[in-house]
Amino acid sequence: MLSLQQIGYHHPNKDLLFDNISLNISTQQKIALIGNNGAGKSTLIRLIAGELKPSGGTIKADGRICYVPQVYGGSYNNCSIAEALGIAPRLQALQAILAGDTREDNYTLLDDDWNIEERCREALDWWGLEHIDLNRKMDTLSGGQKTKVFLAAIRLHDPRIVLMDEPSNHLDVSARDKLYDYIRSTRHTLIVVSHDRFLLNLLPSVAELSSKGLTLYGGNYDFYTEQKAIKERALIEDMQDKEKALRKARDVERETIERQQKMDARGRKKQEQAGLPTISMNTFRNNAEQSTARLKDVHAAKTNMIVQDLQLLRQALPDKDKMKLGFDESALHKGKILVTATDVNYNYGQGPLWQRPLNFQIRSGQRLAIKGCNGSGKTTLINMLTGLLQPTAGNIDRAVFRVICLDQDYALINNRLTILDQARLFNTAHLQEHEIKSRLTHFLFTNTYWDKPCGSLSGGEKMRLMLCCLSLGNDAPDMIVLDEPTNNLDIRNIDILTAAIKDYAGTLLVISHDVHFTVQSGVTHVMDLDQIRNTDWLYELK
């Protein structure tokens, strides 16, 4: 049993993130926790895990909790694998005892867990991390390997409650299949934050975190989307009814005022014909003007109430804006050879990375996906294509072209700058200040965001800010590289990114384990580094 009662949380700067969050989760219940980026999903998970303290409320957990954190950027780089698994003190105690140190505190730390090393080995091996040293630093691992380390902790500790924050991020296809099998079969209580549609549909309940609080839906993600669509249609119908009511109220107001003005005009004419004194005429005119003003006030109050109701309905509708990059056509003609690789390979000191050298060309306008298991060399290949690395064997000839890389570390974002200053930095089109702010607002960064540091943004918000910054540029890049772009995005922002990329006319290179995103991005060619032995490792999608 896991119980959350009236949980609240304030950021260190005292800004309120959420308040009065309550949820009771039964033993072995499995829940998907969803919500827009910035809603506080990761924070709520960390509160339950005990990594953060709530500003108010209570959290009670019946049993051991295992937390699989979201891994991106420099997260956990300073830890060893043993420290990340939470078993470093026990391992040190075991090694001390085996070395002859029989102090009582070593036995207390070990707690009779004499096979801790064997259990670690079994858990890591199951996730494909064979022969990995427990003292190895996390910063030497790929993103997928880091995620597998934390997933291995579940098998190692056998908790009652498992919290996962974007667990399928960075995982290759085989590791994702193992994760899916675990979610289907486990008897652990699960709370999972994810944008992976397939994974979300494996979980029988959905909890949506929003500014309104936490709402629980008794069905999987497909059921949730159906319920949301029903509510959205009802909102649209209500909005249409209010719009009709507003038009009718304004028509009635206009007709009533016109009728009153005609009556006043006829009254004045009769008074003039009757030859009333000037003072009486002025009195009648003032009375008429006051009567007209009262009518206007009455109708204005009615229309204002309808306008306010309409604004509330519009705010309740989900955001449907598709954010356009707004690029001009690339200056390079379609089909121009950008990269020619001849017998290329790379060596990190342990032999060639690929079992056979790479030979290929990339032409302007192509859309390529680079596939492969974790450690197959996808990021290495990207770095060589963009000139960040030089091959240790073979040769890469590059034409002169402009490339932008949207990577998992959000390297284009300076965390020390405010959001507005970050946008100004990319304003090579020399837009006016109000135009920059308008563009930020279009990308969902309203004036409440402009003075916030970029470092305070969630992963999805940083990706959205990068798209906004690119839209402020004067020239279209000839090539855009997307390195696991959907890893930290919610589903809404994935749709936004997909729509933006579809409008881009230049060359696109995509590394992504998200099959849905790859297909929707219009990829035409695939480099499969797992098939490097075969002649058809580079192929065209039909």
Domain ranges of the chain: 2-79+137-219, 228-316, 337-540
Higher-pLDDT residue of 195, 330: 195
Tokens read off for 105: 């505190």
The reported pTM is 0.64
Q: Which of 513, 517, 537, 407 is nearest to 144 (CA)?
A: 513
Check whether 232 has a pLDDT greater than 60: yes
Higher-pLDDT residue of 459, 120: 120
- The DSSP-derived string for 96-160 is HHHTT---HHHHHHHTT-TTHHHHHHHHHHHTT-TT--TTSBGGGS-HHHHHHHHHHHHHHH--S
Q: Thinking of the domain 2-79+137-219, which architecture would CATH place it in?
A: 3-Layer(aba) Sandwich (3.40)
Low-confidence winner among 188-202, 235-249, 389-403 (lowest mean pLDDT): 235-249
Confidence grade of residue 286 (pLDDT, cut at 50, 70, 90): low
User: Among all chains, which residue has been given the structure tokens 């035409």?
Assistant: 524
Edge-first strand order for the sheet with 56-61 is 16-25, 2-10, 56-61
Confidence grade of residue 160 (pLDDT, cut at 50, 70, 90): very high
Check whether 72 has a pLDDT greater than 70: no
pLDDT digits (tens, 9 = 90+) for 362-381: 998 899 999 888 778 888 99
Specify the CATH superfamily of domain 337-540: P-loop containing nucleotide triphosphate hydrolases (3.40.50.300)
State the average pLDDT over residues 410-420. 90
Check whether 323 has a pLDDT greater than 60: no
H/E stretch holding 20 reads: strand 16-25
CA-to-CA separations, 325 to 131, 143, 503, in angstroms, rounded: 45, 28, 8
3-class secondary-structure state, position 411: coil
Question: What pLDDT does residue 195 have?
Answer: 84
Q: Beta-carbon neighbour count of residue 26 at 10 Å?
A: 9
Check whether 321 has a pLDDT greater than 50: no
Percentage of the chain lying above the pLDDT 70 cut: 85
Check whether 420 has a pLDDT greater than 50: yes
Positive or negative CA dihedral for 363, 366, 372, 376? positive
State the average pLDDT over residues 441-466. 86
Is 2-79+137-219's fold the same as 337-540's?
A: yes
pLDDT digits (tens, 9 = 90+) for 504-538: 888 999 988 777 788 888 898 899 988 887 778 88
Check whether 263 has a pLDDT greater than 70: no
Average pLDDT value for the chain: 83
State the average pLDDT over residues 290-302. 63
Confidence grade of residue 290 (pLDDT, cut at 50, 70, 90): low
Check whether 320 has a pLDDT greater than 50: no
State the average pLDDT over residues 352-367. 91
520 close to 508: Cβ distance less than 8 angstroms: no
pLDDT digits (tens, 9 = 90+) for 125-155: 999 888 888 888 888 888 888 899 999 999 9
Higher-pLDDT residue of 256, 29: 29
